[in-house]
Structure 1
Amino acid sequence: MSKKELSECDICDLYITPAIKAAGWDQFKQIRREVTLTPGPVIVRGELSARNKKKKKFADYILSWVPGTMIAVVEAKDNTHTVSHGMQQALGYAEILGLPSAFSSNGDAFASHNKTPQDSEDIETEFPLENFPTPDELWRRYKKFRDIKDEETDLILQPYYTDGSGKEPRYYQVEAINRTIEAVAKGQKRILLVMATGTGKTYTTFQIIWRLWKAKAAKRILFLVDRNILADQTLVNDFKPFGSIMTKIKNRKIDPSYEIHLGLYQALTGPYEEDKIFKSVTPDFFDLIIIDECHRGSAADDSAWREILDYFKNSIQIGLTATPKETEYVSNLTYFGEPVYTYSLKQGIQDGFLAPYKVVKINIDKDVDGWIPPDGMTDDLGQEIEKRIYNQADMDRILVLNQRTKLVAQRVMQLLNATDPFSKTIIFCEDIDHAERMRKAIVNVAGRLAIDNPRYVMRITGDSVEGKAELDNFIDPESKFPVIATTSELMTTGVDAKTCRLIVLDKTINSMTTFKQIIGRGTRIDEDFNKYYFTIMDFKKATEHFKDPDFDGEPVVIYNPDPGDDPEPPDPPTDEEDDDETDEGPEDSGTKKIVISGVPVKIKNERIEYLGDDGKLITESYKDFTEKQVKQEFASLDDFLKKWNDADKKQVIIDLLEDHGVLLENLAELVGKDYGDFDLICHVAFDQPPLTRKERANNVKKRDYFTKYGEQARAVLNGLLEMYADKGVQSIEDAKVLKLKPFSDIGTPLEIIKNIFGGKLNYEKAIQELENELFKKEETA
């Protein structure tokens, strides 16, 4: 066999791997083959979803100096390609991994891209297989690229925690961890990490702490949070390996016998001096403080968090946030500095680590048209109503139309009943009063579901002991109830509800920070529970925030640190600044509301939008999406027909389309389950009239093309034809089908292939001819 005929895998085994090993690389500790970096984004249209595996990032080789410290990437191609054909792909991987060295090879030689060339060197070169760089050479290049000094390497090379399960950080978590460790090694004391909700900030934090603690760069560590549930989740989940050296600060005491402390900032400080228990230890007690959700107040000069941070001012302080906060009065960039690493929601969705969303935008007539009460009209308490235009901004803040609340509940349950009435759902309301009224409305609309299951819907708000007690059950994928949570502020952040499939926005949201946090409640993918996307149902035009460049853009520092420059002091915090509540916080404005029961309301219009490839919302059906993806792969109907007929097995074409996110079972749901894969593709992508599988099988029988075969061969082919009519083309391409009836009555698979058809090649040729008859071009014209 010539080199040109070898597969890519053969080229790796016979040429590339031996060349890398010959340069001194350890096959077991330094060379990793076939490394999946990202799984590929999830595509959602209608109620259907699939991964676009074409956009999966998959490196042929990752080279490491030591395990956990990647320093180079190599992309392999078969020998029908040029040496540098895979370079652009390799550079893409090197870019996201932060590596200076990328290589490509077809087995003849190596192409190299060096981001740190000497003055006399070219950036890109080619060299023979035997000249691949040594580990020492690429490690020197990596240190130069990342500006790592020799004295910093011990800390930077401190190993990750591993438990033997094979779990390891994702590529962006590795980058976040390494960038943080490198900053600490350089003496940086204020560090900011920006990672979208659902990307594993706590696990990333654990690995940072583990490496710094193991390297003795930090001996006493404080992980500072502002929700009890965050501390409790962390204690038993990601931080569990710390075991007996870890404690949660309670009983108003910091116990110096522990090294890792999880602290609720409300438990560490308060308005009175006796509340400030953080002062019970010396200012140099903690070497490292990690501030979770640091957008939520720690950045403000006069916040309780800042008081703690200022007291331990000599410690290393790392802020974690999904939403960098910038207002005129609050800035975490000004305090922590520019982020050492950012991983955005958009990137997480494009990589396939985060769930995409579809948006159902619903306009209610009284919201968008406004409502003016008739002269002399009174509310439910008999009080006369001020005559003016009431619109969306007033709904459930000033004006309560009970029919509107009922309508929202009906539309929510309509969607759930049409999909899965047990899909975990969060309904965000204006305040506690609204959340309670929404809970009652859902109970009434849910009917038997709520009667049979008293916890089907719960109000989970800061004042509800019963509701907060159910929070753990709501976020537990194994716990069926509660299904629906009505809330105001309490669940905007820190609630790790992996299986949340529906977020309902019946709340005015002016703050981009709050909007991002709310959207983050649905962005986790949970493959164990088949949760790959979520739906946002928007009644208050909150999703207009998606159009704002700031939604996934870079934060801009607009903080004014000099109060002398401000002619007036800032107003109390509003929804725009910091409307996130703590566990004990109130969620009601106290405004007296006008409540009216008899005013009819109706849905004026609806629009469903999906996340496009560019991260923007689009209106597109699964049919439109399929047509676009098929035409990316096949230029015309004739091109498709040629490749379909030339394929030895049609499964190759089906797999190719699946890589694009086109699942033919999804198309069958739209067009009809009696149609085969061929007709589904031709109909949806090329507008051809479809034939059912049974119609195609009958057309073959009418042609009587079986006459050239013997009696037993005709019986086998007739059986295969019936199998196609029932189950589709894949069922006849696998020889294992011959183990089933009616074929088993004729003989064993080996007897059928060898004795009846005269061998494997003749049998495969007969299957190919059968398929050609099934898919004759004139049948689709």
Structure 2
Amino acid sequence: MTIISKKQMSEEDIKLQYITPAITAKWDIKKITMETNITDGKINLKGNFITREKPKRADYVLYLNPNNPIAIVEAKDNKHSISHGLQQAMAYASMLDIPFAYSSNGDGFFEHDFLTGKERELDLDEFPTEEELYCRYKNGANNGEGLSENQEKMIQQPYYSSQKTYPPRYYQRIAINRTVDAISMGKDRLLLVMATGTGKTYTAFQIVYRLLKSGMKSKILYLADRNNLVDQSIQQDFAPLEKVIHKVNFSKDDPSTITSYQVYFSLYQQLAGGNDDQEEDINNTILKLKQLFRPDFFDLIIVDECHRGSAKKESNWRKILEYFASATQIGMTATPKETKYISNIDYFGEPIYTYSLKEGIEDGFLAPFKVINVMTDIGEGWRPRKGQCDIYGNEIEDRIYTNSDYDYNIIIEDRIQQVAAEITNYLKSTDRMAKTIVFCATEDAAERMRVALVNQNSDMVQKNPDYVVRITGSDTYGKSKLDYFISVREKYPVIATTSKLLSTGSDCKMTKLIVLDEMIGSMTEFKQIIGRGTRLREKEGKTHFVVMDFRNVSRLFADPDWDGPIEMDEDFNPKSGSGKNTKPPVGPGPDPVDPKQPKPIVNRDGCQVKIVYKTVSVYDANGKLLRQESIIDYTKENILGAYASLDNFIRKWSAEEKKEKIRGLLREQGIDLETLKEDQGMSDVDDFDFICHVAFDKKPLTRKERAENVKKRDFLNKYSGAAREVLEALLDKYMNTGIYEIEKTEILKLDPFMKMGKPQKIASYFGGKDGYLKAVKELENAIYDGGAA
């Protein structure tokens, strides 16, 4: 038997015969994984075509235990040097927070030690044992000071695992490990920054579970600011701890029995009182707290969505944290607030770990998005006529009104109708059941938008009155539908109009369309709103989402803060906020409460609004504009790139033996003609005509019209009997399904051709197969005779 030399072996052979035996000689095989997916692979949006990149994959990952990978090995074939794969291994190791990286080509190993910064080459039989690597890790950790006893204890404490619970993703594992490690070292203020949709609550649960099971913490308070978020957390991620969980209720809790639990959930508002500026509220709350809990009762507090009140220096919520000052406190947020008035970093410290929206999209764990920017003819300015009155008969103040005014200071009824129509048309052209959130300027605006959307979608509302629902803070009915809206299983409501209620926190997994019809100046709020769509649900058909912007809010993507590094504001002063004039500026005020002076309302007779321009923008994960286009423009650009002129396209179309090849070429450019035709309401148009229409502005003919033209030209009179019957059947097939089907000889095995005989017999009507193919080609020429209309 001839033995293949190393240089001729594939990478897989090198791994099988050299690298794997060398590692397993030193390591328990149960602590090794191979071909380990690190990411899921980024989802790319190209035209109206969606693809996934290959996931990042490590050849070998070695573990101390399921919590802690310690080494990564990248393999190459023997045509490469031993160290050739080291930089790739180092990149993966940095990403995974792993201290040792190796590469190998089957001759030996090359090592990079992140603890010392040194590299060395090892023989094949010198790969370190588990005991050796752990000893080096233990002694080299904490800048050479070594692991503490508590740190070693926490390393051995496993995650919670079950058949229903997925193992932590790499970034969740890092967040969990860094947090419990820091707590075991005695750190008492920590900040975790994780993008919306990346599993902050699940991460918090695993932190709590490990700290409880290790005995390091025994009384834990989890603070959130929405009741549905508390219930959501208890019922879902924290369900394995349900027997030791209690939801705080001041009116019912008994001080003698409340101390028997381990994990307590509460709302900020419940603890801090209803009004942030009323000293009486906070004093009453402190009294209630003293009745239930001693200041040292909790040894760990997790503050969910800590970008809100908890970090505000003068906030009553902050006073609650100060009451429990002895507890370790973890702030969790997707968007830490850093202004001269508020600072998460000042209170919680620098983030112990950050996993950004950019990283989530790049890794394929979060959904990418397109932005449809819709401009009206009054967006940049509308001025009333001299002496023009609103519907109440009041004269409208003579000035220029812009997007910053509509729904805030003046109501333009036709603008609301046009926005609702644009939303409706988009859903009709894509998916009428796509979960949609419409962010409106005020609660009143959300109600007006609800009514407009109901009337423009009456066919769907007739099927279910909850097709469109307003979900706002003051709307009791709407709030009762929130759980149904965010449910993956529940179909209704489909469209939710809101003001602020859905901008943060609510886990809207199936949101496919986010509509921005409010002015947003805060980057924190903008990131939170975009975060409502970032969750992926591929099995349910959600691979990306769309942002429809009517107020040019998407300009914030160009802001350096969109996904830049988190830094404390240079002007932050922890003593600020106590004076009357030091509060941050506010946006448009609330709805007017004086019915005698309502906002001016202008009906369609007073101001008729038109949509004047639409663009589709695709951004990269950094918020950088990749391209700005309409899908039609994108298609036109690619067609013109392939076919310089109409005559050139017609010649190539006519010369192409298989027309389907042209459709395939366009598909490679991300253009799915069938989907695009459906979106444009042109499914009955031939691809030839559609291309001519999009790229060369020609009037399209339907397939039926082209078939009728063939009959009018008497093309079929050249044939008689069975041959003519076959061609008539082919023409009918073209009319119903298009040109590609009649090009295939397999069509002769289908009805109605099967009734005419076997394919060989049908071909005989034309003098054989070549005669049949010639007749089909002539039929095609007749169909496209005269070219484009």
TM-score scaled by length of structure 1? 0.77
What is the CA distance between 1:390 and its match in structure 2? 1.1
**2:614 equivalent among 601, 606, 609:** 606
**Which residue in 2 is equivalent to 1:343?**
355
**Which residue in 2 is equivalent to 1:41?**
42
Does the CA-based 8 Å contact 2:48-2:670 persist in structure 1?
no
Q: Does 1:275 align with 2:274?
A: no
**1:365 equivalent among 365, 377, 383:** 377
C-alpha distance after superposition, 1:296-340 (max 9, x if no partner): 110012212211110110100000000010121111110000000
Q: Give me the whole-angstrom Cα distance separating, in 1, the residues matched to 2:458 and 2:212.
A: 55
C-alpha distance after superposition, 1:115-159 (max 9, x if no partner): 2338xxxx3332221010111222234342554524221123311
**Which residue in 1 is equivalent to 2:22?**
19
C-alpha distance after superposition, 1:416-461 (max 9, x if no partner): 0000011000000000110000000101111211222210100000
Q: Does 1:543 align with 2:541?
A: no
**Which residue in 1 is equivalent to 2:76?**
77
Secondary structure at the counterpart of residue 209 of structure 1? helix
Q: Gapped runs of 5+ residues in structure 1?
A: 580-586, 630-656, 685-724, 732-740, 747-781
Q: Gapped runs of 5+ residues in structure 2?
A: 274-280, 639-664, 696-739, 747-753, 760-789
Secondary structure at the counterpart of residue 389 of structure 2? coil
What is the CA distance between 1:726 and its match in structure 2? 6.2
**1:378 equivalent among 389, 402, 407:** 389
Comparing 187-196 with 243-252, greater Cα deviation is found at: 243-252
Q: Does 1:309 align with 2:321?
A: yes
Q: Give me the whole-angstrom Cα distance separating, in 1, the residues matched to 2:316 and 2:587.
A: 19
Q: Give me the whole-angstrom Cα distance separating, in 1, the residues matched to 2:37 and 2:636.
A: 28
**Which residue in 1 is equivalent to 2:583?**
571
Does the CA-based 8 Å contact 1:511-1:575 persist in structure 2?
no
**Which residue in 1 is equivalent to 2:335?**
323
Q: Give me the whole-angstrom Cα distance separating, in 2, the residues matched to 1:728 and 1:80.
A: 48
One-letter amino acid of the counterpart of residue 274, structure 1: N
Secondary structure at the counterpart of residue 557 of structure 2? helix
Secondary structure at the counterpart of residue 298 of structure 1? helix
Sequence identity, in percent? Answer: 45
One-letter amino acid of the counterpart of residue 600, structure 2: I
Secondary structure at the counterpart of residue 102 of structure 2? strand
C-alpha distance after superposition, 1:624-679 (max 9, x if no partner): 999999xxxxxxxxxxxxxxxxxxxxxxxxxxx9xxx9698947756999999xxx
**2:517 equivalent among 482, 502, 506:** 506
**Which residue in 1 is equivalent to 2:709?**
none
Secondary structure at the counterpart of residue 320 of structure 1? strand
One-letter amino acid of the counterpart of residue 52, structure 2: R
Comparing 519-528 with 41-50, greater Cα deviation is found at: 41-50
Does the CA-based 8 Å contact 2:148-2:185 persist in structure 1?
no
Comparing 258-267 with 534-543, greater Cα deviation is found at: 258-267
Q: Give me the whole-angstrom Cα distance separating, in 2, the residues matched to 1:663 and 1:110.
A: 42
Q: Does 1:228 align with 2:231?
A: no
TM-score scaled by length of structure 2? 0.76
Does the CA-based 8 Å contact 1:99-1:142 persist in structure 2?
no
C-alpha distance after superposition, 1:18-42 (max 9, x if no partner): 101212x1101x2111110101111
**Which residue in 2 is equivalent to 1:712?**
none
Does the CA-based 8 Å contact 1:668-1:675 persist in structure 2?
no
One-letter amino acid of the counterpart of residue 149, structure 1: L
**Which residue in 2 is equivalent to 1:149?**
147
Does the CA-based 8 Å contact 1:245-1:259 persist in structure 2?
yes
What is the CA distance between 1:7 and its match in structure 2? 3.3
Secondary structure at the counterpart of residue 149 of structure 1? coil
Q: Does 1:109 align with 2:104?
A: no
Q: Give me the whole-angstrom Cα distance separating, in 2, the residues matched to 1:162 and 1:628.
A: 52
What is the CA distance between 1:609 and its match in structure 2? 0.5
**Which residue in 1 is equivalent to 2:58?**
59
The change in CA–CA distance for 1:534 and 1:519 in structure 2 (over 3 A counts) is same
Aligned alpha-carbon RMSD (Å): 3.3
Secondary structure at the counterpart of residue 70 of structure 2? strand
Q: Give me the whole-angstrom Cα distance separating, in 1, the residues matched to 2:115 and 2:628.
A: 45
Does the CA-based 8 Å contact 1:194-1:344 persist in structure 2?
yes
**Which residue in 2 is equivalent to 1:239?**
238
Q: Give me the whole-angstrom Cα distance separating, in 1, the residues matched to 2:108 and 2:215.
A: 45
Q: Give me the whole-angstrom Cα distance separating, in 1, the residues matched to 2:110 and 2:572.
A: 51
**Which residue in 2 is equivalent to 1:492?**
503
The change in CA–CA distance for 1:400 and 1:52 in structure 2 (over 3 A counts) is same
**Which residue in 1 is equivalent to 2:125?**
130
Q: Does 1:7 align with 2:5?
A: no
Q: Does 1:192 align with 2:191?
A: yes
The change in CA–CA distance for 1:153 and 1:509 in structure 2 (over 3 A counts) is same
What is the CA distance between 1:561 and its match in structure 2? 3.4
The change in CA–CA distance for 1:615 and 1:567 in structure 2 (over 3 A counts) is closer
Give the aligned length: 642
Q: Give me the whole-angstrom Cα distance separating, in 2, the residues matched to 1:184 and 1:727.
A: 70
What is the CA distance between 1:166 and its match in structure 2? 6.9
**1:594 equivalent among 600, 612, 615:** 600
C-alpha distance after superposition, 1:687-715 (max 9, x if no partner): xxxxxxxxxxxxxxxxxxxxxxxxxxxxx
Secondary structure at the counterpart of residue 417 of structure 2? helix
Secondary structure at the counterpart of residue 326 of structure 2? coil
The change in CA–CA distance for 1:590 and 1:539 in structure 2 (over 3 A counts) is farther
- The structure with the largest alpha-carbon Rg is 2
**2:446 equivalent among 435, 442, 453:** 435
Secondary structure at the counterpart of residue 126 of structure 1? strand
Q: Give me the whole-angstrom Cα distance separating, in 2, the residues matched to 1:60 and 1:671.
A: 44
Q: Give me the whole-angstrom Cα distance separating, in 2, the residues matched to 1:61 and 1:663.
A: 36
Does the CA-based 8 Å contact 2:211-2:217 persist in structure 1?
yes
Q: Give me the whole-angstrom Cα distance separating, in 2, the residues matched to 1:667 and 1:482.
A: 32
The change in CA–CA distance for 1:728 and 1:138 in structure 2 (over 3 A counts) is farther
Does the CA-based 8 Å contact 1:199-1:354 persist in structure 2?
yes
One-letter amino acid of the counterpart of residue 170, structure 2: Y
